[in-house]
Amino acid sequence: MSAHIELPKEHPHLALVTIDRPEQANALDPPTLRELASAWRRIADDPEIRCAVLTGAGERVFSAGMDFRTTIPAARRLARGEQVDSGDFEGLRDVATALLAGFDLKTPLVCAVNGHARAGGLDLMLASEIRYAVPHATFALEEVARGLYPTGNATVLLPRQIPWVHAHELLLTGRPIDAERALEIGLINRIVPSDRLLQTAFETADAIASNAPLAVRETRRGVRELLGLGLDDAYQRQEELGRPLRATADAAEGARAFLEKRSPIWQGC
């Protein structure tokens, strides 16, 4: 499989998704797009998965983006109204879900960037909440250099995540930046050695998964909803999201566990 999901026994309530085409720079061909989309749907539908980790296979590339040997030609044929292979069509139909562009995972995503993240690979990273990268990682949105519009997450999410001027430098020049620059402008959380990358990602994911699952999901949801609201509406919506949680069994358990100086046992209700 060119993209696969695992549920590591040593990390309860976590899912690990790996783009596994290292010899092809983890480029996203139609089968990979289908498998990624399937993995995201499974995570979104499974309340037992409280956090996901995404990485690429190998030590060189996280993902080079869309596969120019298969996906891009198929997309061009489809745009011209020509017939495409049924498998390619299914992959193209799953592009938005595979890139988490408008598809709500409902679950926090930690990205372990094991190498270069280019074009659609960077688009996919932008859908994550927390990101760690190896020192040799680079980041680029190269669509304008190829006559294309970046239709994944870049023009929607990037200007909301980093300052306006830095977002436009990436979007309009097509030039790559290194990990140090990505850290400086707030594109990633931290640079970590390659041999600690997944460990660091799992430590954070485990911390997220150890918290009350309803509270985590609603907090993630709230950040996304409130981002586009004015202050008055944001405070009102914040209360609407927070009020039901205060009446849950998990809220009562959290208070008891704090007073009894023990770890809480979450029920998800």
Task: For residue 86, name the pLDDT band (cuts at 50, 70, 90).
Answer: low
User: What SS3 state is found at 175?
Assistant: coil
What percent of the chain is modeled with pLDDT above 90?
78
Top pLDDT among 189 and 69 is at: 189
pLDDT for position 84? 65
User: What SS3 state is found at 4?
Assistant: strand
**Mean pLDDT computed over 125-149:** 95
pLDDT tens digits, one per residue of 33-66 = 999 999 999 999 999 999 999 999 999 999 999 8
pLDDT for position 52? 98
Strand residues in 144-263 grouped as ranges (E): 177-178, 190-191
Residue range(s) occupied by CATH 3.90.226.10 in the chain: 3-209
pLDDT for position 228? 87
pLDDT for position 190? 98
Look up residue 155 and give its amino acid.
T
Question: Class assignment of domain 213-260?
Answer: mainly alpha
pLDDT for position 105? 96
Task: Name residues whose C-beta falls within 8 Å of residue 27's C-beta, 6 or more positions apart in sequence.
Answer: 21, 63, 64, 65, 66, 67, 68, 69, 71
pLDDT for position 88? 63
pLDDT for position 134? 98
The CB density around residue 149, as the number of other CB atoms within 10 Å, is 9
pLDDT tens digits, one per residue of 189-227 = 999 999 999 999 999 999 999 999 999 999 999 999 999
Task: For residue 69, name the pLDDT band (cuts at 50, 70, 90).
Answer: confident
Q: Is the pLDDT of residue 82 over 90?
A: no
Question: Which of 49-63, 96-110, 242-256 has the least mean pLDDT?
Answer: 242-256
Q: Is the pLDDT of residue 8 over 80?
A: yes
Mean pLDDT, the chain, rounded, equals 92
Residue range(s) occupied by CATH 1.10.12.10 in the chain: 213-260
3-209 topology per CATH: 2-enoyl-CoA Hydratase; Chain A, domain 1 (3.90.226)
**Mean pLDDT computed over 101-128:** 96
**Mean pLDDT computed over 176-180:** 98
pLDDT for position 93? 79
Question: Which of 28-32, 35-39, 83-87, 139-143 has the least mean pLDDT?
Answer: 83-87
The CB density around residue 50, as the number of other CB atoms within 10 Å, is 25
